[in-house]
Structure 1
Amino acid sequence: MKHGLAVLLAAGTLALAGCGSTAEPQARAAQETAPQAAPSADPSAAQSQAAPQAQGLPVTVQAADGTSVEVKDASRIIPLTGDVAEIVFALGLADKVVGVDLSAMGLPEARQKPQIGYQRSLAAEGILSLKPTVLVGTEEAGPPAVIDQLKGAGVPVVTVPSGATSVDDVPGKIELVAKALGVADKGVELAARTKTEIDAAKAKVTGTDRARVAFLYLRGQSKTYQLGGAGTRADAMIAAAGAEDAGTAAGVKGYKPITAEAMVKAAPDQILVMSMGLESVGGVDGLLKLPGVAETPAGKNKRIVSLDDLELLGMGPRTGQALDKLVTAFQQR
């Protein structure tokens, strides 16, 4: 193991550095304190209204919440969560998207779209003002009362699984989103490509001496510093990449605040973070100032792995690419 080494993965490359990631900041799904943003005028609204109807509509889909939802019109789409937005864009439907939540703002296609706030703290009035014909999001979209309001307003709301359990759930998630929007054939194609990339990355895992990796959720602006564990998307990604989740091994379920005691108990060989989070604490140097981090094997050797936020935890079209980078990084010990 080389001392003073920080492994930073961003923009599809493997970089070695001793400072923070230079990746452009972007909102993430786990950002509990994200502010609400007022919708702005959508310059593409007229174009979206005039767009031809998808060939696969009308369609009835079985949503993740157990309800059957009929979608007749996908000319004005609002993805309620960033991971779903990435799938919608990858399906070639960017011109029909009339609003996105803050967790999607790291995606180039989303930056000129009206904002509807943060996925966990949505407001019905702002969403309805954009005149959507269909809303699609994971179970993380809410609060529940707002989702009920949107359904009550007559707008089809399709919920899809978040994919937190396993990377193997990602292709099905993609296919469900595509079917709901009338482009099932494109969904099958995108899901197959994503599955091929996931399987190829998992096939690169070698050996039985697994790296012990801790995922840290960092938001310096709100001083939110948490250690991830069982039941999280990070746990699923770490396991698929052939490593051991240090938080899970230490008995953490979900997320818990970082403490010196928790970090020492987790004793990670490597630390995994999102690029925006790493940047928010001042890079690797700032990360090492958090309780207990510098005392871990990962901290002592500056073994920090950083990926784009949605690429790492989006459980979407880039999941296989993210896994490939993690497998490479985790095997460099």
Structure 2
Amino acid sequence: MAAELSRRQWLALAAGAGSALSLPAGWAQSAQRPVQRLITVGGAVTEVVYALGAQSLLVATDTTSLYPEAANRTPKVGYLRQLSAEGLLSLRPDAIVGAAEAGPAIVLEQVRAAGVRVELIAADHSFAEVLRKVQTVGRITGREGQAQTLATQLKAQWAQVQSTVAQAQRKPKALFILSHSGAPLVAGRGTAAHALLSLAGAQNVVQQFEGYRPLTAEAMAAAAPDVLVNSTQGIEALGGVDAFWRRPELALTPAFARKALVMMEASQLLGFGPRLPEAVSQLHSQMLKATA
């Protein structure tokens, strides 16, 4: 049986070096069988598994899978962008489902070559992305009915949140700072943070570039954000709220005068998972309150 292949055989097969090895009978059709052993890479994907009640299928998750609390107690396969074929295949998964940024690509190709079903979910930083995650996980785990129910609930929540955002009289000028490690960066166009600010009814003051970049004190002053947004993990990495406000470049912003800072847990804030309606609602109300 496939489960009896040694680790060395797995890796030889995955790398294409073991041409003399033959797959166990029926292994090529394993992708069509109900999944019994699942690995998820990407916190939002893992959240969906728990939301659908399919967590008994999980044999491991990645290190970004922090919610719900039970996900912290699952075996970990490392960071989703730095996976290894040996680590994944040693867990004998039937399927690996992940966020679009999971990789490296060569590792996932090796895993596919070993007969494991691998599905990555396209990201466009939208509510539609959330629904794709729900649909994909529901299909792979055999929880299509539960997935449909969850999608219906999320659509209703989303409609309510979007109605509330649309009725707001102000669009705060916001700046998202990413500071989980290294020097703080600010979020430009094309990022999850940019999309989140827009969905929550704010104007991202950084429009001149895409991605995340350092922002000089002069540019910070010119951007003139009314409110700053960061994750709770990012603030902790900078030494806490007091240390954050001691950064000299922040003193040049309108946000500094009123200490207008909104913090939320990173996986909820940027995960684009089933908590997105709640995240947008909280961010919207907190930004309005901080800039009142």
TM-score interval w.r.t. the shorter chain? 0.7 to 0.9
Give the alignment's TM-score, normalised by structure 2. Answer: 0.84
| Unaligned 5+ runs, structure 2 | 1-29
Of the three residues 156, 163, 166, the one matched with 1:196 is: 156
Contact 1:171 1:192 in 2 (8 A): no
Percent of aligned pairs with the same amino acid: 34
**Residue in 2 aligned with 1:18?**
none
Change (3 A) 1:214 1:98: same
Partner SS, residue 74 of structure 1: coil
**Residue in 1 aligned with 2:46?**
85
Mapped partners of 1:144, 1:291: distance in 2 = 41
1:176 counterpart = 2:136: yes
Contact 1:216 1:271 in 2 (8 A): yes
Give the alignment's TM-score, normalised by structure 1. Answer: 0.74
Residue by residue over 1:49-101, the C-alpha shift from the partner in whole angstroms, topping out at 9 and shown as x without a partner, is xxxxxxxxxxxxxxxxxxxx944232111001112111111111112111111
Change (3 A) 1:224 1:177: farther
Q: Report deviation, 1:119.
A: 0.5
Mapped partners of 1:327, 1:243: distance in 2 = 8
Mapped partners of 2:86, 2:222: distance in 1 = 46
Partner SS, residue 98 of structure 1: strand
**Residue in 2 aligned with 1:40?**
none
Contact 2:66 2:267 in 1 (8 A): no
Report the residue type matching 1:328 in the other structure.
S
- More relative contact order, 1 or 2 (CA 8 Å, 6+ apart): 1
Please say which of residues 85-94 and 105-114 is displaced more in the overlay. 105-114
Mapped partners of 1:243, 1:81: distance in 2 = 26
Mapped partners of 1:236, 1:176: distance in 2 = 22
**Residue in 1 aligned with 2:183?**
224
Count of residues in Structure 1 that have an aligned counterpart in Structure 2: 260
> Over alpha carbons, which structure has the higher Rg?
2
Mapped partners of 1:172, 1:152: distance in 2 = 25
Partner SS, residue 184 of structure 2: strand
Contact 1:163 1:170 in 2 (8 A): no
Residue by residue over 1:182-232, the C-alpha shift from the partner in whole angstroms, topping out at 9 and shown as x without a partner, is 21111111112112112211111224531011111112xx42311001111
Q: Report deviation, 1:122.
A: 0.8
Change (3 A) 1:261 1:168: farther
Q: Which has the higher helix share?
A: 2
Mapped partners of 2:195, 2:267: distance in 1 = 14
| Unaligned 5+ runs, structure 1 | 1-68
Contact 1:160 1:177 in 2 (8 A): no
Mapped partners of 1:315, 1:161: distance in 2 = 12
